[in-house]
Chains A and B, each alone.
Chain A
Amino acid sequence: MRAYDLVELAGRNLREAGLRNSLTTLGIGVGVASLVAMLSLGIGLQKLATRQLGRSGLFDTVVVTSRQDGRGPRFAQAAPVTGQPKPLDDAARHSFEQMANVAEVYPNFSAVGDIRLETNKTGNHFTVVGTLPQSARNSESFDDVQGTFFSSNDAQEAIILSDFGRELLELPREPRGVDVKLTPDQANQLLGKYIVLRYHKREAGESAPLSGKTTKKGERDPDDVDSADDPQGQDQQSFNLVPQQLKLKIVGIVSSEPNRGLRQGRTPVFLPLALAESLDMVQAGELWSTLRPADTKTYIALIVRVGKSKAVEQVEEDIKKQGFNTFSILDASKGITRFFKVLDMFLAIFGSMALAVASLGIINTLVMAIMERRREIGIMKALGASDGDVKRIFFFEAGTMGLLGGAVGTGLGWMIGKLINLGTNIWLQRQDVQPEKFWYVPPWLVLAALGFSILVSLFAGLYPASRAARLNPVEALRHD
Chain B
Amino acid sequence: MATNGTEFESVRTVSVVRHYKLGRTLIPAVDGVSLAAGRGEFIALLGASGSGKSTLLNLIAGLDRPDSGAIVVEGADLATMTSEQLAQYRRHTVGMVFQSFNLVPAMTLYENVELPMRFAEVKRRERRARVIEALERVGLSDRMKHRPSEMSGGEQQRAALARALANRPKLLLADEPTGNLDSKTGTEIMDLIRELNRTLEMTVIMVTHERSLAERYANRLVFLADGKLLSESINELEKIGVTR
Q: Which of B58, B87, B92 contacts A385 (CB 8 A)?
A: B87
B96-125 interface code vs A (CB 8 A; 1 in, 0 out)? 101110111011000000011011110000
Residues of A within 8 A of B87 (CB): 381, 384-387, 389
Residues of A within 8 A of B96 (CB): 382-383
Residues of A within 8 A of B90 (CB): 381-384
Does the CB pair B121–A384 fall under 8 Å?
no
B65-105 interface code vs A (CB 8 A; 1 in, 0 out)? 00000000000000000011001101110001011101110
Q: Which of A198-206, A303-311, A320-328, A472-480 lies at the interface?
A: A472-480
Contact A387-B104, Cβ < 8 Å, known A382-B63, A474-B63: no
Does the CB pair B121–A477 fall under 8 Å?
no
* Chain A residues numbered 211-230 whose CB sits less than 8 Å from any CB in chain B: none
Residues of A within 8 A of B106 (CB): 12, 16
**Is A388 positioned at the interface, with any CB of B under 8 Å from its CB?**
yes
**Is A2 positioned at the interface, with any CB of B under 8 Å from its CB?**
yes
Q: In angstroms, how far is the closest chain B Cβ from the Cβ of A455?
A: 27
Does the CB pair A384–B99 fall under 8 Å?
no
Residue of A nearest to B124 (CB): A4
Q: Which of A1, A9, A474 contacts B121 (CB 8 A)?
A: A1
**Is A331 positioned at the interface, with any CB of B under 8 Å from its CB?**
no
Residues of A within 8 A of B100 (CB): 479
**Is A76 positioned at the interface, with any CB of B under 8 Å from its CB?**
no
Residues of B within 8 A of A473 (CB): 63
**Is A143 positioned at the interface, with any CB of B under 8 Å from its CB?**
no
Q: Which of B92, B98, B102, B107 contacts A384 (CB 8 A)?
A: B92
Residue of B nearest to A385 (CB): B119
Residue of B nearest to A479 (CB): B100
Residues of B within 8 A of A379 (CB): 102-104, 115
**Is A154 positioned at the interface, with any CB of B under 8 Å from its CB?**
no
Does the CB pair B119–A1 fall under 8 Å?
yes
* Chain A residues numbered 1-37 whose CB sits less than 8 Å from any CB in chain B: 1-2, 5, 9, 12, 16
Q: How far is the CA of A5 from the CA of B117 in the complex (A)?
A: 10
* Chain A residues numbered 339-390 whose CB sits less than 8 Å from any CB in chain B: 375-376, 378-389
Does the CB pair B83–A2 fall under 8 Å?
no
**Is B167 positioned at the interface, with any CB of A under 8 Å from its CB?**
yes
Residues of B within 8 A of A381 (CB): 63, 87, 90
Q: Which of A16, A389, A474 contacts B119 (CB 8 A)?
A: A389
* Chain A residues numbered 425-480 whose CB sits less than 8 Å from any CB in chain B: 473-474, 477, 479
Q: How far is the CA of A457 from the CA of B70 in the complex (A)?
A: 42
Q: Which of A12, A383, A386 contacts B83 (CB 8 A)?
A: A386
Does the CB pair B92–A375 fall under 8 Å?
no
Residue of A nearest to B86 (CB): A386
Q: In angstroms, how far is the closest chain A Cβ from the Cβ of B192?
A: 19
Q: How far is the CA of A384 from the CA of B119 in the complex (A)?
A: 6
Does the CB pair B116–A383 fall under 8 Å?
yes
Q: In angstroms, how far is the closest chain B Cβ from the Cβ of A379?
A: 5
Does the CB pair B84–A5 fall under 8 Å?
no
Q: How far is the CA of A473 from the CA of B116 in the complex (A)?
A: 15
**Is B64 positioned at the interface, with any CB of A under 8 Å from its CB?**
yes
Does the CB pair B98–A5 fall under 8 Å?
no
Q: In angstroms, how far is the closest chain A Cβ from the Cβ of B190?
A: 21
Q: How far is the CA of A380 from the CA of B103 in the complex (A)?
A: 10
Q: Which of A384, A385, A388, A474 contacts B167 (CB 8 A)?
A: A384
**Is B163 positioned at the interface, with any CB of A under 8 Å from its CB?**
yes
Residue of A nearest to B173 (CB): A382
Contact A388-B84, Cβ < 8 Å, known A383-B90, A474-B58: yes
Residues of B within 8 A of A16 (CB): 106
Contact A375-B102, Cβ < 8 Å, known A9-B118, A389-B119: yes
Residues of B within 8 A of A386 (CB): 83-84, 87-88, 119
Q: Which of B92, B99, B115, B167 contacts A380 (CB 8 A)?
A: B115
Does the CB pair B163–A383 fall under 8 Å?
yes
Q: How far is the CA of A262 from the CA of B83 in the complex (A)?
A: 74
Residue of A nearest to B64 (CB): A474
Q: How far is the CA of A380 from the CA of B106 in the complex (A)?
A: 13
Residues of B within 8 A of A385 (CB): 87, 119
Q: How far is the CA of A5 from the CA of B121 in the complex (A)?
A: 9
**Is B174 positioned at the interface, with any CB of A under 8 Å from its CB?**
no
Residues of A within 8 A of B92 (CB): 384
**Is B206 positioned at the interface, with any CB of A under 8 Å from its CB?**
no
Residues of B within 8 A of A376 (CB): 104
Q: How far is the CA of A134 from the CA of B117 in the complex (A)?
A: 76
Does the CB pair A383–B115 fall under 8 Å?
yes
Q: In angstroms, how far is the closest chain A Cβ from the Cβ of B155?
A: 18
Does the CB pair B84–A479 fall under 8 Å?
no
**Is B61 positioned at the interface, with any CB of A under 8 Å from its CB?**
yes
Q: How far is the CA of A12 from the CA of B114 in the complex (A)?
A: 14
Q: How far is the CA of A12 from the CA of B87 in the complex (A)?
A: 23
A32-69 interface code vs B (CB 8 A; 1 in, 0 out)? 00000000000000000000000000000000000000
B137-177 interface code vs A (CB 8 A; 1 in, 0 out)? 00000000000000000000000000100010000000000
Q: How far is the CA of A33 from the CA of B83 in the complex (A)?
A: 42
Residues of A within 8 A of B102 (CB): 375, 378-379, 382, 477
* Chain A residues numbered 383-407 whose CB sits less than 8 Å from any CB in chain B: 383-389
Q: In angstroms, how far is the closest chain A Cβ from the Cβ of B131?
A: 14
Q: In angstroms, how far is the closest chain B Cβ from the Cβ of A178?
A: 71
Does the CB pair B120–A384 fall under 8 Å?
yes
Q: In angstroms, how far is the closest chain A Cβ from the Cβ of B71?
A: 15
Q: How far is the CA of A479 from the CA of B101 in the complex (A)?
A: 11
Q: In angstroms, how far is the closest chain B Cβ from the Cβ of A390?
A: 10
Does the CB pair B121–A2 fall under 8 Å?
yes
New A-B contacts (8) at CB < 8 Å, excluding given A379-B102, A379-B115: A2-B121, A16-B106, A378-B102, A379-B104, A381-B87, A384-B120, A389-B87, A479-B100
29 inter-chain pairs at a CB distance below 8 angstroms, sorted by A residue, are A1-B119, A2-B118, A2-B121, A5-B121, A9-B118, A16-B106, A379-B103, A380-B115, A380-B119, A381-B90, A382-B102, A383-B90, A383-B96, A383-B116, A383-B119, A384-B88, A384-B90, A384-B91, A384-B116, A384-B120, A384-B167, A385-B87, A386-B83, A386-B87, A386-B88, A387-B84, A388-B84, A389-B87, A477-B98
B residues lining the A interface (CB < 8 Å): 58, 61, 63-64, 83-84, 87-88, 90-92, 96, 98-100, 102-104, 106-107, 115-116, 118-121, 163, 167
Q: Which 3 A-B pairs have the closest CB atoms?
A: A384-B91, A386-B87, A383-B116
